Structure 1
Amino acid sequence: MRFRADIQNIHTFTKFTASLATLGHVAWLRLDDQDVRFTVVPEKGTQVWAVLSTDTIFETYTIQSAAANNTINLEVPLVPLQRALKSAQNAIAAHIRLTKKDNIPLLSLTIKTTTINSSAPSAFADRDGNIESTGDDFGGTDREGSVDFFGRQDRETIISQDVPIRVLAAASVEGLHEPRCREPDVHITLPNLLQLKSISDRFTKLAMSTKAGTRGGFSSASGPRLELSANMHGCLRLALNTDAMRINSLWTGLNNPELDPDQNVDGLGGIENHPSTRMKALGDSQGQSEEGWATVRLDGKDWVRVLSVGRLGGRVIACLCHEHAMILYVYLNGDEPGVGESVLTYYISSYSQ
């Protein structure tokens, strides 16, 4: 069993693991010939099923195992992995490999950095103000000429970071699969996630500061409920409704992506009978009508953690199954030439009213 790769995009890899670490402590990492998959399934909260093209983060990718497609399954602690990657932010080269020390399997990160050593020879000025050096001359024998006092020398430093992991048997993970959801009622491209995160965080903190009402009540373990609603006319609404307050933010002019008949088992007929097609016949583009909206109720704290994926950029499509669940698709690197598209999928269950 072998795995080794050079990391070509350390910043993306670090931001990605940081966003996962906010949602769970460990990830199931599946490596094979085609892609890299990270799955986080916490006991409570949002599930993440991320499929990364190998060239999104790696180059010179080498993998070998006895399983089909050279598949390797690992259980990886996310915080130690994130810390190891953070130490490589200024690296000139970094590579990762699967290894073993004292019979403990490890992901070993080797980081090459460059440090600059500066030396300054001691110097003094004579009575006429001419500078003389007590060290070697830098500009020939003319001590009254221009003198460079500082010598610079680059030195390479190699740093190793080891992350203890577990190697998982194929049988132990074959039962894991993405949650199954019905066809969404509304699908919409979200606005900038960092902006949405800022407003969501403000609503959450406001609700926590008041702790009002049973309808908007919450425990310290969960957090206040936020309502996210959207229609098929480019409108998105984030609301906080409690017995003490009702506030919301509304976005209009967003994009509702067209469905692809080639991706539907029933082709064009399936599109015509799709729930979102029926929802499109309702509502309006200004958000004035209450018809045609799909709503999910989210744990405010969990939702803010999910939105940390905004640091990666990329377009995000939300699919809302009314009062049931929301699925977020985060697409990375789709517009970069020569780089395969990677998709992070978030499954978020809706709370009942």
Structure 2
Amino acid sequence: MPRKHRLEFPGACYHVINRGNYRTNIFRTEGAKLAFEACLFEACETYRWRLHAFVVMRNHYHLALETPEGNLVTGMQWLQATFANRFNKLRSEHGHVFQGRYKALVVERAGALGQVCDYIHLNPVRAGVCTVEGLEGLRFGSYWYLQRPTRRREFMVLETALVEAGELADTPTGRRCYLDYLTWQVAVGPAGKSKAYTNMSKGWALGTDRFKAALLESPDVPDSPRAWGIVGAREVRNQRQQDMRARCLNALRKNEENVRNDPKSAGWKVAIARFLKEREQADNRWLGDSLSMGRPEAVSTYVGRMKRGEIDDSVYRLLKTTNV
């Protein structure tokens, strides 16, 4: 199976995650955590990354990175290879340190990036390592640096979490308010709902549908869904289908009211269904729901009738020749 695609562009933000090989506790000692932090900071300086948040746990790490020069892959190759070499040399060992390739989710700057920062800061709390109040004493993470402005490095942009939490100032008062905000997150907010918060580490992109749709316009996005992996492929495919559906409606001057009220077997609906099946490999169930055409079997029947000439296909031919 081909490797999952890495979408890179100047200014891209990512949620990067990786674990120790076989989930081993590669960061179980303070020395290992210090070594990884040193490599991370070197990578940020060398590749001119902006670090919005990070945490180093016993067997994995999380990063919220921004790449002004669009060089995630090169920088991550250096980071992981350099740490692995130093780690193995220190222990006179050989072999893989990390569990395969790292995961890198593209993150929308507004909204989603702040949520990722919160997610990363609260990772030790979810793991039972400490309480929210105990985060300040947890040395290997961005929350520790957030509370100590004089210890921060030039590439750290830790105020992102404060701004996204409600335009909080990077002051003692603002940072205290952020602590209260994280406490609320754990108690009643999104962070307290593990099922919803798990999505911060799933998929291929984090953000609004509009943000994802804009990413899909990039010529760097592969057409083959296999390149995205199972979860990413499904989301990419659904987004493209939704986008093409909207374009078809616009080309035919139809709207959502027409979708709801026109007959299930309306010729224009069947035309769009046939077009999307051929162009985007849309399945009958999705077409039945999104075009109000009824059960999947009904969609298949209507499209088959059009192919046999029993339903006028002039609208379908129009879609085929129109740049939708």
TM over 0.5: no
**Higher-helix-fraction structure:** 2
Query: Which TM-score applies when normalising by structure 1?
Result: 0.20
Larger relative strand fraction: 1
Which protein shows a greater Rg? 1
